[in-house]
Amino acid sequence: MISHKVLILLQEESLFFNSAIHGINHWQTVERNAHYLAEFNNADTEVLSYFAYFHDCMRENEHRDKGHGPRAASFAKKHRDLIPLNDTQFKQLTDACKGHTYGERPECITINTCWDADRLDLLRVGIMPDANRLHNKEAKRIANESDFLVLGGFDSNSQNLSPFNKITSILFK
């Protein structure tokens, strides 16, 4: 659901756009996970999509990079004119980016869904997601039952995912 202009911007500005760990494939997976979870809790799918693509876009390395979330939020603010979210949604996006690694759990279901969607993709780096670090009931269930295949089986064609994610999901089925 992100705009083509934003995708091009990220491709030009993110050092790790093509990274197997923190790049476009991870962002697409986070978006897919987030939209799946939103089916259970009605989180804001527009915010979820922009979070998926922005949260790791300003990483400086593939390891511990404590400032990457706040840098991503600053990057989003710098390019606010390209992000078609209202002010409330935009604040949720920047708060989600800032706190996604070390933040305290807020009451906002959309931010919690952003963070859960990211954590459900930890298997890509050999870390089993911990249900105690997840908020959403369905995310906890997935982690507790190791039911990660349910995420891969999510029908992204019927959801409001970014066009780029839809195209790659169709091409690589």
Question: 76-110: per-residue pLDDT in tens?
Answer: 999 999 999 999 999 999 999 987 666 677 789 99
What integer pLDDT is reported at residue 68 of this predicted model? 76
What integer pLDDT is reported at residue 155 of this predicted model? 53
Closest CA to 78 of 2, 10, 11, 162: 10
The structural domain count of the chain equals 1
Residue 40, Ramachandran bin (φ over 0: left; ψ between -120 and 50: alpha; else beta): alpha
Distance separating alpha carbons of residues 53 and 14, to the nearest angstrom: 10
Q: What is the pLDDT of residues 108-166, one digit of tens each?
A: 999 999 999 999 999 888 999 999 999 999 999 999 999 999 998 655 444 444 444 44
What integer pLDDT is reported at residue 159 of this predicted model? 46
Distance separating alpha carbons of residues 108 and 66, to the nearest angstrom: 23
Position 141: which residue type? R
Q: What is the pLDDT of residues 22-42, one digit of tens each?
A: 889 998 999 999 999 999 999
Q: Does an H or E element contain 80, and which?
A: none
Distance separating alpha carbons of residues 132 and 128, to the nearest angstrom: 12
Distance separating alpha carbons of residues 31 and 19, to the nearest angstrom: 16
CATH of the domain at 101: 1.10.3210.10
Predicted structure pTM score: 0.86
* Structural domain for 20, as ranges: 4-171
Tokens of 163: 């066009």
Distance separating alpha carbons of residues 167 and 164, to the nearest angstrom: 5
Is a pLDDT exceeding 60 seen at residue 15? yes
**166: CB partners within 8 A, 6+ apart:** 156, 157
What integer pLDDT is reported at residue 102 of this predicted model? 65
What integer pLDDT is reported at residue 17 of this predicted model? 87
Tokens of 115: 């963070």
**69: CB partners within 8 A, 6+ apart:** 55, 97, 98, 99, 100, 101, 102, 103
